[in-house]
Amino acid sequence: MLNFIRLFRLISGINLHRLHTNFIHTTMASCRRPEHQAPPEVFYDDTEARKYTSNSRMIEIQMTMADRAIELLALPEDKPCFVLDVGCGSGLSGEALTEHGHFWIGMDISKPMLGIAEEREVEGDLFVGDMGEGVFFRPGTFDGVISISALQWLCNADKKTHNPPKRLYRFFSTLYGTMRRGSRAVFQFYPENSHQLELITSQAMRAGFSGGVVVDFPNSTRAKKMFLCLFAGLLNPQLPTGLGTGQGPQGSDQVAYSGQRQRFRNLKGKPLKKSRDWIKEKKERRRRQGKGDFKADSKYSGRKRSKKF
């Protein structure tokens, strides 16, 4: 499957940012990620920003993510709210906010992207700012914070003075101050690996947020999307469930009913030698010990050979 995707990338010559919005999380450390190429203020230049008005597929992906993020934000529908859009770029997510009847302020580090937002005549106010320098508004300003594909940029040190954990902490702690008690912040992001995910969430918790990561369609490589949902000043927040996980909101704390009987035969003692279970267990033990000379599990593992052999 992976090879197929790589092949597909080669022949169809899709541009880098489309890779970012859809494929990138399939590989752990890819040199194709935009963060690895240049700092955000350099990467999102005029040509890159132009894609946000011309490329309908990119716009569609951004819009669906923005809609889902707003859904997770759970703002009261009947009241107009004041929202901060971090890394608003061309203002696509802001347009989604306007559609829902909310007012917003957008910040981004790339001037060409803001230029596009200006050209699209978005409703919200814009300003140039670096999220790693902190978000500076008066305390208790915002009813919610939204951010689409921006947070992973903070994990990179683009200047000598940049220190990713410090920048993340400065961002989260100043953000916490500008949010109203009980409001939410939703970040759609592409963490490069589990270490980055851990770094981001730990810095957010340190800054006083509660919450966690919601993963939509975790079993699909293409549709999988991660949302960091943070709550400012809530004691026992209920984290929303991801789409496509197969569990409803109410069934999560119950044991699923199963028609199968539990087999007790295999529970005691070691499995029969040369049996499939025995092979599996042995492989598992080798894996645990870090000895790599075993074949990957497949449907053929521990099967009897056909008579031909």
Residue type, 227: F
225 phi and psi angles, rounded to 5 deg:
-140, 140
The correct pick among 121, 248, 262, 309 for binding other proteins (CB under 8 A) is 121
Tokens encoding 110: 């790339």
The correct pick among 99, 119, 277, 284 for binding other proteins (CB under 8 A) is 119
Interaction between residue 138 and other proteins (CB under 8 A): yes
Smaller CB separation from other proteins, 87 or 216? 87
The correct pick among 48, 143, 192, 216 for binding other proteins (CB under 8 A) is 143
**CB–CB of 273/295 below 8 Å?**
no
Listed ranges 5-13, 158-166, 254-262, 292-300: which one lies at the site for other proteins (CB under 8 A): 158-166
**CB–CB of 146/92 below 8 Å?**
no
Tokens encoding 300: 């053929």
CA distances from 62 to 48, 56, 198 (A): 15, 10, 25
Listed ranges 32-40, 61-69, 110-118, 193-201: which one lies at the site for other proteins (CB under 8 A): 110-118
What's the closest the beta carbon of residue 76 comes to other proteins, in angstroms? 7
**CB–CB of 212/187 below 8 Å?**
no
Smaller CB separation from other proteins, 183 or 196? 183
Binding mask 27-46 for other proteins (x = CB under 8 A): -------------------x
Residue ranges in 71-90 that form contacts with other proteins under rule CB under 8 A: 76, 79-82
The site that binds other proteins (CB under 8 A) totals a number of residues, namely 49
Residue ranges in 167-186 that form contacts with other proteins under rule CB under 8 A: 169-170, 173-174, 176-177, 180-183
What's the closest the beta carbon of residue 183 comes to other proteins, in angstroms? 6
Interaction between residue 145 and other proteins (CB under 8 A): no
**CB–CB of 252/277 below 8 Å?**
no
Distance CA 186, CA 78 (A): 20
Cα 128-81-217 angle, rounded to 5 deg: 80
**CB–CB of 189/225 below 8 Å?**
no
Strand partners, 86: 107
The correct pick among 129, 164, 212, 302 for binding other proteins (CB under 8 A) is 129
Smaller CB separation from other proteins, 159 or 263? 159
12 phi and psi angles, rounded to 5 deg:
-85, -15
CA torsion sign for 16, 110, 228, 164 is: positive
What's the closest the beta carbon of residue 137 comes to other proteins, in angstroms? 5
Q: Is 269 left (phi over 0), alpha (psi -120 to 50) or beta?
A: left
Binding mask 196-215 for other proteins (x = CB under 8 A): -----------xx-------
List interacting residues with other proteins (CB under 8 A). Answer: 46, 76, 79-82, 103, 105, 107, 109, 111-112, 114-115, 117-119, 121-122, 125-130, 133-134, 136-141, 143, 159, 161, 166, 169-170, 173-174, 176-177, 180-183, 207-208
